[in-house]
A and B are shown apart, each in its own frame.
Chain A
Amino acid sequence: MRALAVVLAAAWVLTGLGGVAAAGPGALDLESVARRLAAPATQKGALGELAASSDPAVERLLRALKDGALYVWKGRLVILGDDAGLTDVAGRPLLDAQGQPAQLGSGQEAVALDESHFGVVQRILERFEVLGKDPAKRQSAAFKLGTSGDPSAIPVLARAIEGETNRDVRAALEDALAKLRLRAPDPADRLGAVKQLGRRASEAAVPQLQALLAEETDPAVRAAARTALQDIDRFVAQRNIVGYLFNGISLAAVLLIMSLGLAVTFGLMGIINMAHGEMLMLGSYTAYVVQEIFAARFPAYADSYFFVALPLAFLVAGLVGFALEWGVIRFLYGRPLETLIVTWGVGMILQQGARLYFGDQTSVNSPTWFRGGVEVLTGLIFPWSRIFIVGLALVALGALWLLLYRSYAGLNVRAVMQNRAMAACLGVSTRRVDAVTFALGTALAGVAGCALALIGTVDPEVGKTYIVDSFMVVVLGGVGKLVGTVVAAVCIGLSNKLIEPAIGGTAAAVYAKVAVLVIVIWFLQWRPTGLFAQRGRAATETA
Chain B
Amino acid sequence: MSAWSRREFLRGSLVAGTGLAAGIGFPKILTAQGKEPIKVGILHSLSGTMAISEAPIKEVVLMAIGEINKAGGVLGRKVEPVIEDPASNWDLFAEKSKKLLLQDKVAAVFGCWTSVSRKSVLPVFEKNNGLLFYPVQYEGEECSKNVIYTGATINQQATPGIDYLMSAEGGGKKKFYLLGSDYVYPRTTNKILRLYLTKVKKVPESAIAEEYTPFHHQDYQTIVGKIKSFSAAGDAAVINTINGDSNVPFFKELANQGVTADKTPTMSYSFAEVELQTLDVKPLVGHLASWNYFMSLKTPDNLKWVKAYKEWCKGHSIPDKQCVTDDPMMHAYIHVHLWAKAVQKAESTDVEKVLKALEGLEIPSPVGKYKVDEKNHHTWKPVYIGKIREDGQFDVVWKTKSWVRPAPWSEVTYPGRDCDWSNGGKGSFDVVGGKRMWLSDKS
Whether B256 lies near A203 (C-beta < 8 A) is no
Whether B216 lies near A360 (C-beta < 8 A) is no
Q: Which 5 pairs, one residue from A and one from B, show the smallest C-beta to C-beta distance?
A: A383-B256, A361-B278, A203-B232, A360-B52, A457-B245
Whether B256 lies near A381 (C-beta < 8 A) is yes
Q: How far, in Å, is A296 (CB) from chain B's closest CB?
A: 12
Whether B278 lies near A456 (C-beta < 8 A) is no
Q: How far, in Å, is A137 (CB) from chain B's closest CB?
A: 8
Whether A247 lies near B52 (C-beta < 8 A) is no
Interface flag for B182 (CB, 8 Å): yes
Neighbour of B258 across the interface among A360, A381, A385, A455, CB < 8 A? A381
Kindly list 6 other residue pairs between chains A and B, CB separation below 8 angstroms, not including A147-B233, A455-B253, A510-B212. A206-B232, A371-B282, A455-B252, A461-B49, A507-B182, A509-B222
Interface flag for A506 (CB, 8 Å): yes
A383-B253 in contact given A243-B225, A355-B2 (Cβ < 8 Å):
yes
Whether A143 lies near B234 (C-beta < 8 A) is yes
Interface flag for A497 (CB, 8 Å): yes
What 0/1 pattern do residues 193 to 227 of A give for CB contact below 8 A with B? Answer: 00000000001111110000000000000000000
Tell me the nearest residue of chain B to A373, going by C-beta: B256
Whether B214 lies near A207 (C-beta < 8 A) is no
Chain B residues within 8 Å of A, Cβ to Cβ: 1-3, 49, 51-52, 168, 182, 210-214, 216-219, 221-223, 225-226, 228-229, 232-235, 245-246, 248-249, 252-253, 255-258, 260, 262-263, 277-280, 282-283, 322
Q: How far, in Å, is A534 (CB) from chain B's closest CB?
A: 31
A497-B222 in contact given A379-B232, A383-B257 (Cβ < 8 Å):
yes
Whether A455 lies near B249 (C-beta < 8 A) is yes
CA distance A24 to B225 in the complex (A): 45
What 0/1 pattern do residues 501 to 513 of A give for CB contact below 8 A with B? Answer: 1000011111000
Whether A510 lies near B225 (C-beta < 8 A) is no
Find chain B residues with CB under 8 A from A384 CB.
256
Whether A366 lies near B252 (C-beta < 8 A) is yes
Tell me the nearest residue of chain B to A146, going by C-beta: B234
What 0/1 pattern do residues 365 to 378 of A give for CB contact below 8 A with B? Answer: 11000011101000
A373-B258 in contact given A140-B263, A147-B233, A204-B232 (Cβ < 8 Å):
yes
Tell me the nearest residue of chain A to B255, going by C-beta: A371
Q: How far, in Å, is A413 (CB) from chain B's closest CB?
A: 32
Tell me the nearest residue of chain B to A361, going by C-beta: B278
Neighbour of B213 across the interface among A360, A363, A465, A509, CB < 8 A? A509
Find chain B residues with CB under 8 A from A507 CB.
182, 211-213
CA distance A510 to B233 in the complex (A): 28
What 0/1 pattern do residues 91 to 104 of A give for CB contact below 8 A with B? Answer: 00000000000000
CA distance A506 to B210 in the complex (A): 6
Interface flag for A6 (CB, 8 Å): no
Whether A362 lies near B216 (C-beta < 8 A) is no
Whether A375 lies near B223 (C-beta < 8 A) is no
CA distance A121 to B321 in the complex (A): 39
Tell me the nearest residue of chain A to B213, going by C-beta: A509
Interface flag for A119 (CB, 8 Å): yes
Whether B235 lies near A207 (C-beta < 8 A) is yes
